[in-house]
Chains A and B, each alone.
Chain A
Amino acid sequence: MAPVPGSGLAKGLAVTLRTMTKKTVTEQYPDAQPELPPRTRGVIGLFEENCTVCMLCARECPDWCIYIDSHKETVPAATPGGRDRSRNVLDRFAIDFALCMYCGICIEVCPFDALFWSPEFEYAETDIRDLTHERDKLREWMWTVPAPPALDPGAEEPKELAAARKAADKLAAQQQPQEQETDGPGQEDRT
Chain B
Amino acid sequence: MNDALDVTLRLLVVFVVFLAFPLIVGQTEHKVMAHMQGRLGPMYAGGFHGWAQLVADGVKFAQKEDVVPADADRRIFQLAPAVALLPYLLVLLAIPVGPGEGAVGQVVDAGVFFVLAVMGVGVLGSLMAGWSSANKFSLLGGLRTAAQLLAYELPMLLTAASVAMAAGTVSLVGILDAFEWWWLPWQIVGAVVFFVAGLAELQRPPFDMPVADSEIIFGAYTEYTGLRFALFLLAEYAGIVVLCGLTTVLFLGGWHGPWGADGLGWVWTLLKAAVLAFVVIWLRVTYPRLREDQLQKLSWTLLVPLSLAQIALTGIVKVVIA
Binding site for B on A (CB under 8 A): 9, 12-13, 15-17, 19-20, 22, 24-26, 28
- Contact partners of A19 in chain B: CB under 8 A: 35-38
Smallest CB–CB gap between A2 and chain B, Å?
Answer: 18
A20 touches B287 (CB 8 A): no
- Contact partners of B34 in chain A: CB under 8 A: 24
- Contact partners of A20 in chain B: CB under 8 A: 32, 35-36
Smallest CB–CB gap between B125 and chain A, Å?
Answer: 31
B285 touches A24 (CB 8 A): no
A26 touches B39 (CB 8 A): yes
B40 touches A16 (CB 8 A): no
Using CB atoms, name the residue of chain A closest to B283.
A13
A9 touches B287 (CB 8 A): yes
CA distance A180 to B40 in the complex (A): 76
- Contact partners of A12 in chain B: CB under 8 A: 286-287
- Contact partners of A24 in chain B: CB under 8 A: 34-35, 38-40
Q: Give the size of the chain B interface in residues (CB under 8 angstroms).
A: 14
As a 0/1 sequence over residues 267 to 305 of chain B, the CB contacts with chain A under 8 angstroms (1 = contact) are 000000000000000110111000000000000000000
Give 21 CB contacts A-B under 8 Å: A12-B287, A13-B286, A15-B286, A16-B36, A16-B285, A16-B286, A17-B282, A19-B36, A19-B37, A19-B38, A20-B32, A20-B35, A20-B36, A22-B38, A24-B34, A24-B40, A25-B38, A25-B39, A26-B38, A26-B39, A28-B43
Binding site for A on B (CB under 8 A): 32, 34-40, 43, 282-283, 285-287
Pick the 3 closest A-B CB pairs, nearest first.
A26-B40, A16-B36, A12-B286
A16 touches B38 (CB 8 A): no
- Contact partners of B282 in chain A: CB under 8 A: 13, 16-17
Smallest CB–CB gap between B275 and chain A, Å?
Answer: 13
- Contact partners of B40 in chain A: CB under 8 A: 24, 26, 28
CA distance A28 to B43 in the complex (A): 9
- Contact partners of A16 in chain B: CB under 8 A: 36, 282, 285-286
Using CB atoms, name the residue of chain A closest to B279.
A13
- Contact partners of B38 in chain A: CB under 8 A: 19, 22, 24-26
A-B contact sample (6 more), CB < 8 A, given A16-B285, A25-B38, A26-B40:
A12-B287, A13-B282, A15-B286, A16-B282, A24-B40, A28-B43
Using CB atoms, name the residue of chain A closest to B284.
A16
CA distance A28 to B283 in the complex (A): 27
- Contact partners of B35 in chain A: CB under 8 A: 19-20, 24
Smallest CB–CB gap between A189 and chain B, Å?
Answer: 81
A17 touches B36 (CB 8 A): yes
Smallest CB–CB gap between B199 and chain A, Å?
Answer: 14
